[in-house]
């Protein structure tokens, strides 16, 4: 029987990603994410204190939207 006091997110991917972690997921330079953030064209991000964070689900949604916009070959 699972331990009810155990952290339910233990062993899973984190929900919130730093800009460096998001860049790794997207395989893009951090500078590119900063530029997209400046233009307002990249994945949804937000500030928590001084940190810029991305929700993993928002990255996936943005990736899917980019794939849908790409011309099919």
Q: What local confidence, expressed as pLDDT, does residue 69 receive?
A: 84
Residue 43 CB-density burial (10 A; 0-12 exposed, 13-18 middle, 19+ buried): buried
Segment 41-55, tens digit of pLDDT: 999 999 999 999 999
4: pLDDT confidence band, cut at 50, 70 and 90? low
In order of their start, the domains of the chain are: 16-69 (1.10.10)
pTM attached to this predicted model: 0.76
Cβ contacts of 23-27, under 8 Å, gap ≥ 24: 25/56, 25/59, 26/59, 26/63
């Amino acid at each position: 029987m699972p331990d009810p006091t155990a952290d339910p997110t233990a062993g899973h991917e984190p929900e919130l990603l730093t800009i460096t972690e998001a860049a790794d997921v997207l395989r893009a330079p951090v500078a590119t994410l900063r530029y997209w953030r400046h233009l307002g064209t990249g994945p949804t991000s937000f500030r928590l204190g001084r940190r810029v964070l991305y929700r993993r689900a928002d990255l996936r949604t943005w990736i899917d939207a980019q794939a849908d916009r790409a011309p099919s070959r």
